[in-house]
Amino acid sequence: MISQKQFETELQLLIANAIREDVGDGDHSSLACIPETAQGKAKLLVKDNGIIAGVAFAKMIFNYVDPELVVETFIEDGAAVKYGDIVFHVSGSSQSILKAERMVLNSMQRMSAIATKTNSYVKLLEGTQTKVLDTRKTTPGFRVAEKWAVTLGGGENHRFALYDMIMLKDNHIDFAGGISLAIAKTKAYLKETNRDLKIIVEARDLTEVKEILEAGGVYRILLDNFDYKMTKEAVQIIGDKCLTESSGNINEETIRHYADCGVNYISSGALTHSIYNMDLSLKAI
């Protein structure tokens, strides 16, 4: 996974680009009618139920826009919220608050929805040893915040991007000439380039599971679109030789059944690509 330093760098790049995109050469609506010296205060109002996420990120955004803005926090990231809750107050330059408003809301609404969805999956797995994972099916340019939201909801991050883990999926395997060749070439590549990256290999059936185990050196086997019976058989075959992950056909109705098959992880793209934003508002006080 990426380091804390790289994580923070990604967040700063995200903020800088989003503010550039939204503000351009100036927030002319505010500049036109609000004096530069005007001071104001606003509250982050919850108009939905779920898990709040993005409070710390909002503070980063406000600080980027204007270090003089002051945020008073009442509810922290990862907490359950309900309609009518006030998460924080922000006070300072009225122009600065309005300049940051849209990015704060866009970010927190999406992050909170992701955290809420993730938390619902985590609760469905209570009593099992299975962990919920995200995927790379994220919004371009906003991945670091979305993956952060997954952790705030109680899930765990899969690889961050293409560079921090080897993941051999069906197309890699087919282009490489088969599982054994793909794994052998990967091991050679890692040795030649002096890289220490974990290897995950996707299996499409039990025959491929056995072939992956024969090749060895794999951190985790991804059981892609296996039914419950095949998943149980695969878990028995794999034993403690490596970790297991179920993927495909994961939803609220199926996730517990896959966990009961004994897999270590269940990954779901729906955590980040199929969610509805939480309703939040930033209202002047």
Has 117 been annotated as catalytic? no
Q: Among the options 146, 202, 208, 245, which is catalytic?
A: 202
Residues 6+ apart with CB under 8 A from 154: 78, 118, 119, 122, 132
Q: Among the options 41, 137, 185, 232, which is catalytic?
A: 137
Q: Among the options 41, 59, 102, 204, which is catalytic?
A: 102
Has 202 been annotated as catalytic? yes
250-264 per-residue burial string, b: 16 or more CB within 10 A, e: under 16:
beeebbbebbebbbb
Helix %, strand %, coil % for the chain, to 5?
Answer: 45, 20, 35
Has 210 been annotated as catalytic? no
Residue corresponding to tokens 């056909």: 249
Residues 6+ apart with CB under 8 A from 171: none
Tokens found for residue 74: 């009442």
How many C-beta atoms lie closer than 10 Å to residue 193's C-beta? 8
Q: What is the end-to-end Cα distance of the chain in Å, rounded? A: 41
Q: Among the options 27, 48, 146, 224, which is catalytic?
A: 224
Has 279 been annotated as catalytic? no
Residue corresponding to tokens 């609000």: 34
- Classify residue 34 by its DSSP letter: S
- Each as own residue / partner, the long-range contacts of residues 257-260 (CB below 8 Å, 24 or more positions apart, any chain) are 257/228, 258/130, 258/228, 258/231, 259/124, 259/125, 259/128, 259/130, 260/128
Of residues 170, 168, 156, 166, the one with CA closest to residue 267: 156
Has 224 been annotated as catalytic? yes
The sheet with strand 220-224 has its strands ordered as 131-133, 265-267, 243-247, 220-224, 199-203, 166-168
Q: Active-site residues: which are they?
A: 102, 137, 169, 202, 224
